Structure 1
Amino acid sequence: MPDLIVNLSLTAHRSDGSLKDVFSGYRPIYKVRADYWSSAHHEFVEATGVCTGQWRKADVWLSAPETYPQTFWIGRRVEVAEGSRVVGVADILQILNPLLELSADG
């Protein structure tokens, strides 16, 4: 089961200025905390991928979620990067892994 369901938007272009596109299986990194980035695996829902300027819903599996418990909430916007280059954002739509959800009392 995925950890999150997100709405992913690519904001970057390719180095030649053309639209960037990614497909299911895409593995960027997410800025989970100010001091921590995590690998993320995407499987797009209702589409095979997304390109610059579009939003697409995706199931996301995170690497080692036990390392950063209670860091996500519905509506949170997370920076998405490839190495040191930010290429987009992911809006959190649903949290399927309860370990990751920031609780009101936590």
Structure 2
Amino acid sequence: MARPPRPPDLIVNFSLTACRSDGSLKEVISGYRPIYKVRTDYWSSSHHEFVGATGVCTGQQCEAEVWLLSPKAYAHTFWLGRRVEVAEGSRVVGIADILKIVNPLLELSIDG
């Protein structure tokens, strides 16, 4: 899939934790579109572009630029160091640790 035509929303350290259903290693590549648990009651579609690699395999981690589908729907819900569950449908397949918040709308401010 083509990279979205705007700057990414987040820079994350993405860890792929799941295997394929047959137990073999799973691999995802740039253009990967899982969902992110942005709030306890809200999951968002995303788009990943891996930095310095074409993809990542089970047990590996890689920095990724991430675009979220509708950032206005969950403004002020991210902070540096936050760990976010990443899923394919109802199956959690990885974790994203927030390294940088590029879209200021998403950043949780301690000022309120």
Aligned partner of 2:95 in structure 1 is 89
Deviation per CA, 1:19-75, whole angstroms, max 9, x where unpaired? 010000000000000000000100000000001101100000001100000000000
Which residue of 60, 65, 69 corresponds with 1:59? 65
What is the SS of the residue equivalent to 1:102?
coil
Aligned partner of 1:77 in structure 2 is 83
What is the SS of the residue equivalent to 1:99?
helix
RMSD of aligned residue pairs (Cα, Å): 0.4
Aligned partner of 1:28 in structure 2 is 34
Aligned partner of 2:4 in structure 1 is none
What is the SS of the residue equivalent to 2:105?
helix
Q: For the residues of structure 2 that align with 1:56 and 1:18, how far apart are their CA atoms?
A: 20
Q: Which TM-score applies when normalising by structure 2?
A: 0.94
Aligned partner of 1:14 in structure 2 is 20
Q: For the residues of structure 1 that align with 2:26 and 2:14, how far apart are their CA atoms?
A: 13
User: Quick one: which amino acid aligns to residue 9 of structure 2?
Assistant: D
Q: For the residues of structure 2 that align with 1:93 and 1:48, how far apart are their CA atoms?
A: 19
**How many residues align structurally?**
106
What stretches of structure 1 move > 2 A for 4+ residues in a row? none
Query: Alpha-carbon deviation of 1:104?
Result: 1.1
- Identity, % of aligned pairs? 78
Query: Alpha-carbon deviation of 1:94?
Result: 0.1
User: Which sections of structure 2, spanning at least 5 residues, go unmatched?
Assistant: 1-6
